Amino acid sequence: MNYIILFLILPLFSAFLAPVCSIVRGRFGKYLNIVVYAAGAAGGIYFFTVSGFNAYSVIIGGWKPPYGINLYLGPAAFGFGILIYFIAFLIHIYDLQNNRPAYYHMLFALFVFASLGMTMTGDLFNLFIFIEIGTIALLGLSASVSPGSGTRGALKYFVPAALVSMIMLAGIALLYSSLGTLNIAHIARSSELNGSLAFLLGIGMLGIFFFEAELFPFNTWVPDLYKGAPSSIAAGVAGIGGIAGVVSFGRVFLTMMAGSDTFRFARSRLTAVVFIIAAASIVIGELAALKEEDFKKVLAFSSVSHMGIVVLTFSIGGSVALTAGLFILLNHSVVKPLMLMTAGFYIKTSGKARWREMRGIARRYPLTGALFVVGALSLMGMPLFAGFWGKMILLKSLFSGQGSLSAAGQQTFPLIGAAVILFSVILEGTYFMRIGHVFFEAPPSEDIPGRSRRLKISLSTAAPALILALVVVFFGLRPGLIEGYLSRAAADLINTADYINNVLVTLSAAGGAL
Amino acid sequence: MMKLCPGILNTGMFGAVVFPYAVGIFSLIILKRWKRLQWAFFFLSTLFQLFAAYSLFRSGNFGSGISQKFPFALSPIPGLGQSALFFQFTGLGFIFFAGSTIVTLIISIFSLAFNDRDHATGVAPLWTILMGANAGIFFAGDWLSFLISWEVMGWTSFLIIAHGREDSRKAALYYYILSLIGSSAMLAGIFIGVSGSGSMAIADSVRYFSGLWGTRNSLVVLSTLFFTVAFFAKSAVFPFYMWPSLAHAEAPDDFSSFLSGVMIKYGVFGLIAVVLPIYRAGYVGPAVHGVPLYLAVLGWFGVITAVLGTLYAIKQDDMKKLMAYSTVSNIGLIIAALSMNSSLGIAAALFHTFNHMVFKGGIFLSLASVKYRTGEREMHKLGGMAYRMPLSFFTFLICIIAAAGIPPMSGFASKWMIYQALFEKKMLIMAIPAFFASTGSFLYLYRGLHTIYLGQLSNRFAKIKEAPAPMAFAMLIMMFTVMLGGFFPGLVLSPVNSIFTGMGFAHISQDLFSIQGVTTSIRLTSIGTIFMGSFFIVGFLYLIGKKREHVEQLDTYTSGEMPEEWGLTEEKYHYGMHFYEPLEVTIEPFLKGTSMDSLFRRIGYETGKLSGTVKRWFNTPQLGTLVLLIVVVLLVVVLGR
Amino acid sequence: MILSVVKVLGHAFFVMAVGLLFMGVGRRFSARFHRRYGPPVWQSYIDVIKCFSRKSISHHWIMDMGSVMGLAGLVAASMFLPVGRYLPFQSTGPIIVILYLMPIGYLGMAMGVSASGNPLASIGIGRALTLMLGYEVPFATIVLCMIAAFNSTSLVSLGQAQQAGFLSWNIITMPFGFVAGIIALQAMLAEKPFDTMIAPSEIASGPMVELSGKFLGLAFLQHSVGIFVETGLIVTLFLGGGPGVGFFILKQFLVYMLSLAINAIFARYRVEQATKFLWFTAGGLAFIQLVINMYLRSGTI
């Protein structure tokens, strides 16, 4: 039996078991989830080290690719898969205090499963399925707690999601009719497509990734979802959903489209599209966050901007830029859940949603306030924290004149990108420092938030945030430890030839490793 | 001993940078309950840094580039190409480090007493971390160390200036935004240099840029422009000169001393270490009297800053804002001197930098002790403080004599050298605003002296006491240092001179007592002696006059009127408001025309409006979907060809 | 060592004595303008001695210290002024040192009268300082003219550069500078039209309102030394500065009489009018001179 498939399947166990067992015992679901995610992370680490950091190609159903579906577990999928499990684990610990209905845990497990699937799958249609599962799970999750704004967020997510998934489906159908295959590796090895067809197909299929990755102009749903959904779900979207969206985007765009000959005639145009959209997202995200009053929406806009930065690195090309992008993705996926956990706690204790009305709250809860500031500093790219290194590597690669994948923007794209990123740092610093400090300010005396509901912060709420912050600081002081893995993950995404080899030739011939 | 030297060098630099970080973090997390203890640790950490400075000084070797590594990765990060942080020991960095550490140590003694229960600000741990960043900037050998220290300095100083109050936060945010703009510009310049030279070492980037003269002039100028923007923003040079009046004024009182004394000099250090060497050997391009055009323009920015700082200071009613503008003015003079890029110019700039650290620190400490006792910051509400707090008064007096550039205090020697530097390069027209700014400083300094310390003592403060002993002790040391620097300029100039060989400059001729300029030479000690002698002569005359009789404060000449009939009190009788109103009316149009503040606020406001517009896009789904469709169609159509 | 102390003392008293003599003669001179007889020329000596022998009041010891410091500063400044090539000790007579020692006079007097607590005094000081800002601009520009022409700020060498006869005097070679210098001198001496700091009928003689007895005596002496130093500066800069003590004092006297003549006829400027006039008219003339010197005289740009 192929034990490695457990790495993907584990959440499904929890998804099926949770509603059933909750008939017996209501809170069974969340403990089960925690155990499952911890097991998943541990298992992932085990398999990863055992494999000697090579890639696995796991065949499903006995049919070898390109006729059957395969899972590709390279450094990218493994590393980020472990991260997904880790974040899910921490989110659930944070959520321990809340009494969630049974379907919540089932849907969350499905969401995690879908995200893992997105990062690992080797087949386009399989990818589409996973995306749909994730969408549906998210819809239910976001509306689960607060009916009003949660439903609003869910709806705003659903309508564009439906639109872009239909477009993707159309794209897949067209692709299938042109090339006769849906396996990513096989597509990458196929003959060249007509330029305009390739371009249209590319846009169609990338559309849904832009949507998942919160990029302009596909991101109307982001602020409302962050605000309406409970903070743990928002953390899940930011951390887990972001990872899944970006890694699968990388797989489709970098491995399948940019690295192969199939899309050769449309490559530069597609890269230009990606670049423009990413740069626009960065600018729009920062500008919108500047004057935002609602706390969670600020975090949402900041997510938009950071996803923009990560995707920008994809359009620049070169393994160094991509390593930087993955570093920034890692930083964001660790920090944004941290900040959302803080936000959730503050909102619950103060009963307010706007950050200005939470003035002085950190005087009562200084640990969470400090953790928020740590997160903000890391996102800004300030040293002693992980975000600094990502920014440094990125800027170095932008200025080193490594041309972009697009012929037209060889020299200008990196420079524009650098200008946009440097601009975004200024705005980000402004609003984050402002918010962070407002929490510490002395409030007008009659109006101390938290007085009405004196919640003592419990270990289960504080510990996950603290662990995430420690991770950030740890990588801030010792980036070398993670940088090796990230470059390998970057190479995994870029190196199309190796990918094709691993999937179609080497590993499948041996029936998959293990 | 010699074998120990590299060891001492390495440990000294390493310890000076890392120890305060460790102590600060320890203080922040472990000592949260014992605030007094946090200040004690701050003092100890600074003392350790001073000790490190001393041992570095003893090991000699100024100008050598000995480096020490701090590994942050096990192997070189491919993206960055290095696996450790490099420190380097240059004379320039050492002088700044030693000066800043001495001044901070004196301030920390002051802070021990200042932060009692009523006045505590709780910023000690962050300040300790900031001292680590302080050392890191001066000892940085590669851009990463420099950037780390620079950015840590940025966010810790923001948090300290804001220290939990709303007004302070707004002031701190104004400063921080400008600082971030500077950092972003600097990043661009740094990475242009890194990609061009292929290494992250600062010296290599400088060499790369210097080598580009003649071939890619515009690139070099653009890059140095990026650096200049960053350093100007940090040192409050025109057009970024409005933030000290907010930030220095709203910061905790003892930290204002540090801000005005030490932190504003980082830009000066950056300019001397990074920008000036690029314009030295091998410069090919337009020049004015042998000074590269870019630097000449820099010098003009400096004197404009000096004039504007002086004029704004004359207008102020708040004593901390006044002194903040005075700092701006002095920095302008320093920039003017160092833009001459000669040994005399840089020596003058360094000398004035060190002098300013000491006398501005003393002024702010004295103001802090007044505020500590009275709680007031607006000058016209004070008055007569000298009668109850004579030590604070004397510190203030000595320091403003130095600040005004009057012999025999240290400020005169450094201002004189600044003029000589301008004369050397025949920048005579530039010297006119410099003279103006210097004389104008006398106006606002005197106003501070009169309105706070002299005049009429209000009844509210009739019983206040002198500052507590540690604060008084700190002020005494500052006063003494100012006098020492004035009588014996060689004490500061000899170390400055000795670093010039490392920088490739000729020495300036000076000794312990005198300085040789371009148009003449002066002997500071004899000036001081003459002044003391004249004091005795006149004192003798005073003594042979008939004895004088003491009268009450309110018993003054009033042309035969009886002001008690109008309800005269000490506060009403104290002349404090609108001290220079005629002058203010005259210069108002000029200030309005050049105000950068309104420009920046306008930019901020428009950005905010833009933000609102963008947000609206997210809120209305119809609009959002419409835009989405339009964009997609556009992309397909435009790029589909 | 003893000799130099004696020389310094003697120089100090000499300066004070000559200054008082100028004041005395000046009073007679002004009186003749007004068709009066005026007091005898030694009246100022009598006044000073009288002041020192009268009782005086003081509000605080800072007032005493300030008055002493005021005169001390000016006496120190006078030590650096070469009187017809005679200096009490070895020095180059640096202008900038003198320029920066004179404000000690202002500072000391200001500090002393501030401590007296009378707001009229403080108003006067505020005006005096504003006026100082006014005259510094043309005067500093004149110093720059000297640097442009001779590359020196040493009064000794400037005096020597004008030894080649009457035509080498800077009054001939730098006429604009001379006019600017005379205007600046008028403000330095606080004579009309720039005497708003005293303004007898307006602010009760300003800073001197609380001074009595020996304090008034010290202020008198300060004014006298000030006359000496300031006219001495103009003489050295523009009128050749020597040779010998006698000629020097004669030239100073002529300059002082010119100043008094202007004082006798003019009314008083308000302080903002005065400042503007000094900056733009006097400063403008000096600036023209500077430009001329920079580009035409020294030959280098």
% of chain B residues with pLDDT over 90: 26
The count of domains in chain C is 1
pLDDT tens digits, one per residue of C40-52: 989 999 999 999 8
Q: Do C221 and B559 touch (CB under 8 A)?
A: no
Above 70 in pLDDT, residue B66? no
The answer to whether B97 and B138 are in contact (CB under 8 A) is yes
Q: Confirm whether B147 is domain-assigned.
A: no
Q: What is the rounded average pLDDT of the residues B398-419?
A: 88
Above 80 in pLDDT, residue B638? no
Q: Which residue of B73, B177, B612 is in closest CB contact with A480?
A: B73
Please, what's the b/e burial string for A199-229 (b: 16 or more CB within 10 A of its CB; e: otherwise)? bbbbbbbbbbbbbbbbbbbbbbbbbbbbbbb
Q: Confirm or reject contact between B158 and chain A (CB < 8 A).
A: yes
CA–CA gap between residue B295 and residue B341 (Å, rounded): 8
pLDDT in the model for residue A514: 36
Q: Confirm or reject contact between B612 and chain A (CB < 8 A).
A: yes
The answer to whether B289 and B425 are in contact (CB under 8 A) is yes
Name the pLDDT band for A412 (thresholds 50, 70, 90). Answer: confident
What amino acid occupies position A360?
G
Q: Which residue of C59, C71, C213 is in closest CB contact with B545?
A: C213
Residue B267 tokens, joined: 């830009």
pLDDT tens digits, one per residue of A61-80: 767 766 778 888 888 888 88
Q: What is the rounded average pLDDT of the residues A248-264?
A: 82
Q: Confirm or reject contact between B72 and chain A (CB < 8 A).
A: yes
Most confident of A468-477, B225-234, C231-240: B225-234
φ, ψ of residue B501 in degrees (nearest 5): -60, -40
Q: Which residue of C60, C130, C147 is in closest CB contact with B583?
A: C130
Q: Confirm whether B423 is domain-assigned.
A: yes
CA–CA gap between residue A471 and residue A473 (Å, rounded): 5
Task: For residue C201, give the chain B residue with the closest CA.
Answer: B559
Find tokens 């005097």 and name the residue: C169
Above 80 in pLDDT, residue A160? yes
Q: Which of B241-255, B503-517, C24-38, C102-116 has the lowest mean pLDDT?
A: B503-517
Q: Do B615 and A291 touch (CB under 8 A)?
A: yes
Q: What is the dihedral of CA A278, A283, A285, A289, to 10 degrees?
A: 170
Whether the ω angle into residue B239 lies within 30 degrees of 0, i.e. cis, is yes
The mean of the pLDDT values for chain B is 84
CA–CA gap between residue B108 and residue B127 (Å, rounded): 10
| Pairwise pLDDT comparison (C179 vs B512), residue with the higher score | C179
Q: Confirm whether B251 is domain-assigned.
A: no
* DSSP string across B319-365: HHHHHHHHHHHHHHHHHHHHTT-SHHHHHHHHHHHHHHHHHHHHHHH
pLDDT in the model for residue A511: 45
Above 90 in pLDDT, residue B287? no
To test the contact with chain C by mutation, choose from B556, B561, B573 the residue with the greatest count of C C-beta atoms within 10 A, namely B556
Q: Confirm or reject contact between B455 and chain C (CB < 8 A).
A: yes
Q: Confirm whether B616 is domain-assigned.
A: yes
Q: How far is CA A42 from CA A31, A407, C110, in A?
A: 17, 44, 80
Name the pLDDT band for A448 (thresholds 50, 70, 90). Answer: low
Residue A500 tokens, joined: 């094709």
Q: Confirm whether B202 is domain-assigned.
A: no
Above 50 in pLDDT, residue C31? yes
Q: Confirm or reject contact between B28 and chain C (CB < 8 A).
A: no
CA–CA gap between residue A105 and residue A21 (Å, rounded): 11
Q: Which residue of B432, B526, B531 is in closest CB contact with C140?
A: B432
Q: C165-168: list long-range contacts, CB under 8 Å, 24+ apart.
A: C166/C240, C168/C240
Name the pLDDT band for B93 (thresholds 50, 70, 90). Answer: confident
Which residues from C are below 8 Å from B417, CB to CB? none
Q: Indicate if B549 and B606 belong to the same structural domain.
A: no
Which residues from B are below 8 Å from A479, CB to CB? 72-73, 77
Which residues from B are below 8 Å from C152, CB to CB? 519-520
pLDDT in the model for residue A403: 47
Q: What is the rounded average pLDDT of the residues B571-598?
A: 82
The DSSP bridge pattern shows strands B67-71 and B287-288 to be unpaired
Name the pLDDT band for C212 (thresholds 50, 70, 90). Answer: confident
Q: What is the rounded average pLDDT of the residues A416-431?
A: 91
Shortest alpha-carbon distance between residue A21 and chain B (Å): 40
The DSSP bridge pattern shows strands B67-71 and B84-88 to be antiparallel
Above 80 in pLDDT, residue C143? yes
Range list of H helices, B488-561: 490-498, 500-503, 524-544
Above 70 in pLDDT, residue B128? yes
Q: What is the rounded average pLDDT of the residues B201-222?
A: 85
CA–CA gap between residue B448 and residue B380 (Å, rounded): 10
| Pairwise pLDDT comparison (B317 vs B621), residue with the higher score | B317
Q: Confirm whether B619 is domain-assigned.
A: yes
Q: Confirm or reject contact between B618 and chain A (CB < 8 A).
A: yes
Q: Indicate if B588 and B602 belong to the same structural domain.
A: no
φ, ψ of residue B593 in degrees (nearest 5): -70, -30
pLDDT in the model for residue B602: 85
The count of domains in chain B is 2
The answer to whether B336 and B393 are in contact (CB under 8 A) is no
| Residues comprising chain C, all counted | 301
- SS3 label, residue A305: helix
Q: Do B446 and C110 touch (CB under 8 A)?
A: yes
The answer to whether A76 and A116 are in contact (CB under 8 A) is no
pLDDT in the model for residue C299: 44
Q: What is the rounded average pLDDT of the residues C67-74?
A: 91
Above 80 in pLDDT, residue A357? yes
Report how far Cα C28 is from the mean position of its chain's Cα atoms: 20
Name the pLDDT band for B308 (thresholds 50, 70, 90). Answer: very high
Q: Indicate if B339 and B380 belong to the same structural domain.
A: yes
Cβ-proximal residues to C159 (8 Å cutoff; 6+ apart), any chain: C82, C85, C236, C240, C241, C242
Above 80 in pLDDT, residue A317? no
pLDDT in the model for residue A513: 42
Name the pLDDT band for C186 (thresholds 50, 70, 90). Answer: very high
Q: Where are the domains of chain A?
A: 122-441+460-503
Subunits close to B (at least 3 CB pairs below 8 A): A, C
Above 70 in pLDDT, residue A507? no
Most confident of A490-504, B227-241, C3-17: B227-241
Q: Confirm or reject contact between B84 and chain A (CB < 8 A).
A: no
Residue B69 tokens, joined: 């590594």
CA end-to-end span of chain C: 46
Q: Indicate if B590 and B601 belong to the same structural domain.
A: no
Q: Do A159 and B621 touch (CB under 8 A)?
A: yes
* DSSP string across B104-161: HHHHHHHHHHH-STTT----HHHHHHHHHHHHHHHHB-BHHHHHHHHHHHHHHHHHHH
Task: For residue B81, give the chain A residue with the closest CA.
Answer: A393
pLDDT in the model for residue B316: 86
Closest CA to A184 of A256, A76, A129, A131: A256
The answer to whether A267 and A250 are in contact (CB under 8 A) is no
pLDDT in the model for residue A32: 77
Q: What is the rounded average pLDDT of the residues A78-105?
A: 84
Domain housing C279: 2-298
Residue B299 tokens, joined: 């010098």
Domain housing B606: 597-639
Q: What is the rounded average pLDDT of the residues A160-179?
A: 87
Q: Which residue of B404, B533, B559 is in closest CB contact with C204?
A: B559
Name the pLDDT band for A410 (thresholds 50, 70, 90). Answer: low
Name the pLDDT band for B203 (thresholds 50, 70, 90). Answer: confident
Which residues from B are below 8 Å from C275, CB to CB? 582-583, 586
Above 90 in pLDDT, residue A197? no
